[in-house]
Amino acid sequence: MDDIKRFLNYSSTFWQYIEKRIVPTDDCFFYGVNMKMDTNNCLVDMKVFVPVITDLQTTLVNVHELKHAYDLYQLLGNPLDKGEYEYERRVKELEESFKEKYMVKNINRYLKNRISIHILFSFCYFSTHA
């Protein structure tokens, strides 16, 4: 979750608000933001259903749903009027951006570990065969 928070870079106010409204679920068919509306069709609250983070795919689902939650958070107290397509398009773009940055970070970490292991192995090999 720390990688997601750093990547999304939303205000601490948002994270404090949403923290109590995130519901981890193991049900792979039920992710999303459940909105609570008042009688004037104004958004008054929400719950975010996301999978427990175990791999890149579950991380992307979390990024996706938290982006929706952030967009809706900015509309609290207001009626909803934007089409769902606009929200989905922006979320998909953000999801791709996270995937690229996450992959680069993990590839760099993997390469650094491999280089360190190779250098250590070479040092040990040459030390014993000198």
Write out the two tokens for 49. 């259903």
Condensed to tens digits (0 to 9), the pLDDT of residues 10-56 reads 999 999 999 999 999 987 778 889 889 888 888 999 999 999 999 88
DSSP string, the chain: -HHHHHHH---HHHHHHHHTTEEEE--TT--EEEEEE-TTSBEEEEEEEEEPP-SHHHHHHHHHHHHHHHHHHTTTTSB--S-HHHHHHHHHHHHHHHHHHHHHHHHHHHHHHHHHHHHHHHHHHHHH--
What integer pLDDT is reported at residue 87 of this predicted model?
Answer: 61
On the question of pLDDT at 83 being above 60, the answer is no
